[in-house]
Structure 1
Amino acid sequence: MATPSFQLDPHSVLTKDMFLSVARRNTRTIIAAGLVSTLLLSGLLYTSDAPRSALHFVSSSFSSASTGSTSWPTQCSPEDWSDGEWVQKSPESYPLEHFLSLYPFNASDPQAPNYTPTPEVTRHPLAPLGFAGCASGRERDWHLGMHDDGTPDRNHPEMWSYVVRGASYDWIPKSPACRMYSEQVSREQFIRALVEQGGWFLVGDSVTEQHFFSMSCLLYPHVIATPDYAPHGGSGPRDWPQNLYLNPSSPLVDQLKPPAGFDIKRTPLVTFRRVDLLFEPSELDAIHLSMHNSSDSVPSTLFGPEASESYNLSPDKYLSIFTAPLPEANYKVLLVSTAGHWTTASLPGARDPSDVQKEATNPAVYKTFVEAVRVWTKKVSGALKEPSVGQGVKNSEKQVLIRAYLPGHEFDCHKETGPLTRAAIRVEGNPQLRFLGLDKPALLRPDAHSLSDCLHIQIGAGIFEGGHGTFGTLWRICECDLGLEDT
């Protein structure tokens, strides 16, 4: 795989810093499933006996009103951070109309496919999205809404202004103490934390994969991504492990102080594993049958030939990866998100214990989800209590974060020309648990989705990236607790 170049234009302002096609008729179901599943997950983990020092939570914005104050390691709580609005970037830092003029593309023009980028676009093709480049090669056009040469996605050329305008906003909290968290996260600072303090392991569905892709852009050119998708036409099996490694050509290499045992070629800084339903199918089947006392009146499997496709892995497998020692791993944070595939389409065999004669219903799926999370929490708790083996971040130092699922918007989201301006969001917490309500900004952005649907997020729109996005805010709000305050 080609190594990213470090010859960045010093005059460029912006280079610093699945459902692949959701059917319209299913949009409301997906939104409802995401919201309810996230609420259940947060509630069950809140009442679990998991180690309170190790499990932290990113709860849904639709949780109940706060019941008390929470002590935070920083001056900005998630509740304060979530009280804000999307503000269009200043013309000096983001010349919106200028970017729109650089990409003169008329979809009705028969010569449109022959459009040649201007020299300015050729020099900085991803400038409208705020990136110097992206390390990951997987489905780049879909993630970015544009091609690597700066031309619009040829499948959706009429939506070019939607892409550019979507990337023209910053999230600004009302609290002065929180506004410093809206500053762009330094790539160099982030790299140092991942190398010296420990990496991130992302587990979830295609929305979580978008988080991974966004990080590959945020940290570019200091990271390289595996696998190389070029020989596979930019795609490949969705359950392939994806990793970001420190780029040996990065000028940061000589400045970093990695822990003993760190291997630049073997120790990933960030890993993504596609896991839609927390467990592999046979484990979920066993959980479901246990809810019905192994009764013959329920299907033997939740899945079957009619089930929609999902990708899954046993928690025994991904927890063993998360807790592995150097040089194979040195993870500090496990970031988990689930909800989008907890539907009757994915689990047609789900039965409600109160009425097993009914076909799969949403309540039946949710009750299965409840029991699955109980089992999952026990497994996570047990893994974190195991004695550490070898070098690297100790199990007692690791963190597990449950991110609120981003439920998406209605099917006509691409008609939106800007963010929403109001939402009623309250975040519940207590002194022991960290509830990070990081989904409000995404809920206010129907204008920031991928071009193929209204569930996935447009990379570069600020939902994931920088100090304004999920990763940047998670990183900054938790920096003291995650040991990053000195990086």
Structure 2
Amino acid sequence: MATPSFQLDPHSVLTKDMFLSVARRNTRTIIAAGLVSTLLLSGLLYTSDAPRSALHFVSSSFSSASTGSTSWPTQCSPEDWSDGEWVQKSPESYPLEHFLSLYPFNASDPQAPNYTPTPEVTRHPLAPLGFAGCASGRERDWHLGMHDDGTPDRNHPEMWSYVVRGASYDWIPKSPACRMYSEQVSREQFIRALVEQGGWFLVGDSVTEQHFFSMSCLLYPHVIATPDYAPHGGSGPRDWPQNLYLNPSSPLVDQLKPPAGFDIKRTPLVTFRRVDLLFEPSELDAIHLSMHNSSDSVPSTLFGPEASESYNLSPDKYLSIFTAPLPEANYKVLLVSTAGHWTTASLPGARDPSDVQKEATNPAVYKTFVEAVRVWTKKVSGALKEPSVGQGVKNSEKQVLIRAYLPGHEFDCHKETGPLTRVREFTREWYNWSWIGRMNEAFKAAIRVEGNPQLRFLGLDKPALLRPDAHSLSDCLHIQIGAGIFEGWARYIWHFMEDLRV
């Protein structure tokens, strides 16, 4: 793991950031008179179960017909932010040809694995990804698509161009108001918000873990990450809690104004917990059985010995962490995303209420998902209404943001050479990918019905759906760190939370 180095005047940086923040808020107040975002109710509950009908992909962000609307509280809704295009960075801000020339790999060259980093690469090994370093030590090569020394992944040396080209684009919304939400946010601005306003708690599967890893890069070197994965070869149990804490060596420490009770060693700025299915198995079984009126004609469990592995936790557990007082926690945002593990492999006992004799199908899993997110949304809304205990962000001040889940891209994404200009429809049933748009719509509808303004759906999926050229080197579902997708989500959320303060 890289050793943090600090070369900045923290006082001047924070003073400038404070000035820009005030100017930005004033500008937003003038520009934003209340943009309206469209929330959609898809034909979702128990309609159109035929798998072929699901192949017409329904994006949560941009393509369904509107059946109702509500005002978005800030000047840039997720739908407006998602109306844009990927634009290649200028040579001045991203010297693409130079980065490509660092390792002109030819997969057939027997000497390819013997390339060593140049002095320039040694000084700035992660420059092609736009990072000074990354605090997290978990599966670094996989997350980064390269090694810590800046050399290509030895398992995929021929994909150096894919990684570098993938990092060479910026997302530019059409709306001038939303372009502010794509502005770069300095590490110092992020740190100040997380310390003084409250941290982020990320709950989800391995894609959300990637988002956590990206945050460890965006905030480097001002954070330290736990646990230390070095003694475990850079890996370890996937359900270990992961945290980012303010680095005691950061020169920002003396410039920040943390709330009373904040403990630099105990209060995390960002936390990730691995939760694939929102609930622990027994809770999900109870939801499924309730759909069938506890009938003996359905399996007693959704899981069983043939179920594929998933990592799960009760909402009671992670909500108790989210609402805990200082110094153990001071979270402002709970960021949740789920859908990828809602498959027949994970839930082989899922049964369709209209045909309980049929084995698990994507429609049956989908209907279970619809009921589960309804129950989950009520539970979370109830937790936010509970009286706050102790110091820190009050329950009434917290925000729960559900980020639209992303399917992968069909076929060989690693042969793609750039972003798309329109989202491709699915041509076949790969995993549950063609159903994920419906699942996003179901979650959005559950939030709309609940009507709690502290719960909001972030349909930020379209920019990523346009990036088959920005996947991890191992598959076509996970996302390349540094390609602007996770980093764009983080910027959007930061700007959104800043606007809520106006």
Relative distance call for 1:244 and 1:50 in structure 2 (3 A) is farther
Corresponding residue for residue 469 of structure 1: none
Relative distance call for 1:112 and 1:278 in structure 2 (3 A) is same
Relative distance call for 1:69 and 1:372 in structure 2 (3 A) is closer
Residue 42 of structure 1 contacts residue 59 of structure 1 at CA under 8 Å; is this kept in 2? no
Residue 198 of structure 1 contacts residue 331 of structure 1 at CA under 8 Å; is this kept in 2? yes
1:435 alignment partner, SS class: strand
1:172 alignment partner, SS class: strand
Residue 57 of structure 1 contacts residue 433 of structure 1 at CA under 8 Å; is this kept in 2? no
TM-score using structure 2 length: 0.81
Structure-1 separation of matches of 2:73 and 2:352: 42
Residue 301 of structure 1: how far off its partner (Å): 1.1
Structure-2 separation of matches of 1:432 and 1:49: 32
Structure-2 separation of matches of 1:93 and 1:266: 37
> How large is the RMSD of aligned CA atoms in angstroms?
10.1
Relative distance call for 1:199 and 1:345 in structure 2 (3 A) is same
Relative distance call for 1:333 and 1:51 in structure 2 (3 A) is farther
Structure-1 separation of matches of 2:53 and 2:498: 18
Corresponding residue for residue 498 of structure 2: 485
Relative distance call for 1:240 and 1:45 in structure 2 (3 A) is farther
Relative distance call for 1:39 and 1:155 in structure 2 (3 A) is farther
Residue 66 of structure 1 contacts residue 426 of structure 1 at CA under 8 Å; is this kept in 2? no
Residue 27 of structure 1: how far off its partner (Å): 44
Structure-2 separation of matches of 1:51 and 1:320: 38
Relative distance call for 1:32 and 1:210 in structure 2 (3 A) is farther
Residue 411 of structure 1: how far off its partner (Å): 2.8
1:37 alignment partner, SS class: strand
Residue 425 of structure 1: how far off its partner (Å): 20
Residue 437 of structure 1: how far off its partner (Å): 2.4
Structure-1 separation of matches of 2:367 and 2:56: 23
Relative distance call for 1:422 and 1:2 in structure 2 (3 A) is closer
Relative distance call for 1:361 and 1:56 in structure 2 (3 A) is closer
Corresponding residue for residue 54 of structure 1: 54
1:70 alignment partner, SS class: strand
Q: Identify the range of structure 1 (367-376 vs 176-185) with the bigger mean alpha-carbon deviation.
A: 176-185
Residue 46 of structure 1: how far off its partner (Å): 17
Residue 285 of structure 1 contacts residue 302 of structure 1 at CA under 8 Å; is this kept in 2? yes
Relative distance call for 1:247 and 1:259 in structure 2 (3 A) is same
Structure-2 separation of matches of 1:193 and 1:390: 21
Give unmatched runs, 5+ long, in structure 1.
466-474, 476-483
Residue 55 of structure 1 contacts residue 433 of structure 1 at CA under 8 Å; is this kept in 2? no
Structure-2 separation of matches of 1:129 and 1:63: 31
Give unmatched runs, 5+ long, in structure 2.
424-445, 490-496
Residue 186 of structure 1: how far off its partner (Å): 1.3
TM-score using structure 1 length: 0.83
Residue 207 of structure 1: how far off its partner (Å): 0.5
Relative distance call for 1:380 and 1:75 in structure 2 (3 A) is closer
Relative distance call for 1:450 and 1:51 in structure 2 (3 A) is closer
2:13 alignment partner, SS class: coil
Residue 78 of structure 2 contacts residue 459 of structure 2 at CA under 8 Å; is this kept in 1? yes
Residue 131 of structure 1: how far off its partner (Å): 0.2
Identify the structure with bigger relative contact order (alpha carbons < 8 Å, sequence gap 6+). Answer: 1
Residue 33 of structure 1 contacts residue 339 of structure 1 at CA under 8 Å; is this kept in 2? no
Q: Which structure has the highest helix share of the two?
A: 2
Residue 65 of structure 1: how far off its partner (Å): 3.1
Residue 102 of structure 1: how far off its partner (Å): 1.3
Residue 385 of structure 1: how far off its partner (Å): 1.1
Relative distance call for 1:428 and 1:214 in structure 2 (3 A) is farther
Structure-1 separation of matches of 2:357 and 2:376: 27
Corresponding residue for residue 464 of structure 2: 442
- Work out the number of aligned pairs and report it: 470
Relative distance call for 1:56 and 1:28 in structure 2 (3 A) is farther
Residue 51 of structure 1 contacts residue 381 of structure 1 at CA under 8 Å; is this kept in 2? no
Residue 295 of structure 1: how far off its partner (Å): 1.9
Q: Once the two structures are aligned, what percentage of the paired residues are identical?
A: 99
Q: How does 1:104-115 map to 2 (within 5 A)?
A: 104-115=104-115
Q: How does 1:420-435 map to 2 (within 5 A)?
A: 420-423=420-423, 434-435=456-457
Residue 196 of structure 1 contacts residue 259 of structure 1 at CA under 8 Å; is this kept in 2? yes
Residue 40 of structure 2 contacts residue 69 of structure 2 at CA under 8 Å; is this kept in 1? no
